[in-house]
């Protein structure tokens, strides 16, 4: 009787322990798996894509770039479709969320000879525009 009680308790504990371990492993792996399913660039998003689209029109992104669903067909710079999936920006910049923000805000700090003007965006506005750019497929 005593032994069977001890055995039941310990096995229940073992199951609980196993469940906890499994939950912990899943909790650790799931965000990693979610990141892998997207590109590294899109993983750290933040910002509001709808607001970003309005800001992109305001600042004039489509004046030079071909952007899906925009009224103008910019042909000065590269098209921005799938920009989140590119490995590099502007020829030689590793395409991370942080670099994209910095490039949008002040491209000439990276490349003094770029034709893209510095448009004096706030960090917040650049974050919204980045969120919009990450929706482009």
Partner 1 sequence: MCHTIRGTLALAIVGPDLTHIASRETLAAGTLPNTRGNLAGWILNPQNLKPGTKMPPTHLEPQDLHALVDYLETLK
- Please tell me whether residue 70 binds partner 1 under the rule CB under 8 A: no
Nearer to partner 1, 43 or 70 (CB): 70
Q: Does 120 engage in binding with partner 1 (CB under 8 A)?
A: yes
Residue 68 interacting with partner 1 (CB under 8 A)? no
Identify the residue among 49, 74, 78, 79 touching partner 1 (CB under 8 A).
74
Q: State residue 6 phi and psi, 5-degree precision.
A: -60, -45
Among 48, 72, 99, 135, binds partner 1 (CB under 8 A): 72
Q: Single out the residue of 51, 119, 135, 136 in contact with partner 1 (rule: CB under 8 A).
A: 119
Contact predicate 105/95, CB 8 Å: no
Both tokens assigned to 38: 């997207």
CA angle 77/78/82 to nearest 5° reads 145
Query: Applying CB under 8 A, does 106 fall inside the site for partner 1?
Result: no
Which one, of 133, 11, 119, 2, lies nearest residue 65 by Cα? Answer: 133
113 belongs to the binding site for partner 1 (CB under 8 A): yes
Applying CB under 8 A, among 68, 73, 109, 123 the residue interacting with partner 1 is 73
Q: Which helix (H) or strand (E) holds 54?
A: helix 49-59
Query: Cα(135)–Cα(42) distance, rounded to whole angstroms?
Result: 9
Q: Tell whether residue 12 is a contact of partner 1 (CB under 8 A).
A: no
Instruction: Please report, in angstroms and rounded to a whole number, the separation of the first and last CA atoms in the chain.
Output: 66
- Positions that interact with partner 1 (CB under 8 A): 57-64, 72-76, 108, 113-115, 117-120
């Amino acid at each position: 009787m005593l032994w069977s009680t001890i055995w039941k308790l310990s096995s229940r504990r073992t199951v609980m322990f196993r469940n906890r371990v499994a939950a912990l492993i899943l909790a650790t792996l799931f965000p990693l798996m979610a990141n892998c399913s997207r590109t590294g660039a899109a993983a750290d998003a933040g910002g509001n894509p709808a607001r970003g689209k309005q800001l992109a029109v305001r600042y004039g992104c489509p004046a030079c770039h071909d952007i899906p669903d925009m009224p103008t067909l910019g042909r000065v710079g590269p098209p921005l479709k799938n920009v989140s999936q590119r490995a590099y920006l502007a020829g030689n910049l590793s395409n991370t969320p942080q670099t994209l923000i910095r490039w949008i805000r002040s491209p000439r700090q990276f490349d003094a000879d770029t034709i893209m003007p510095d448009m004096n965006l706030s960090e917040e506005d650049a974050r919204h525009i980045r969120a919009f750019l990450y929706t482009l497929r």
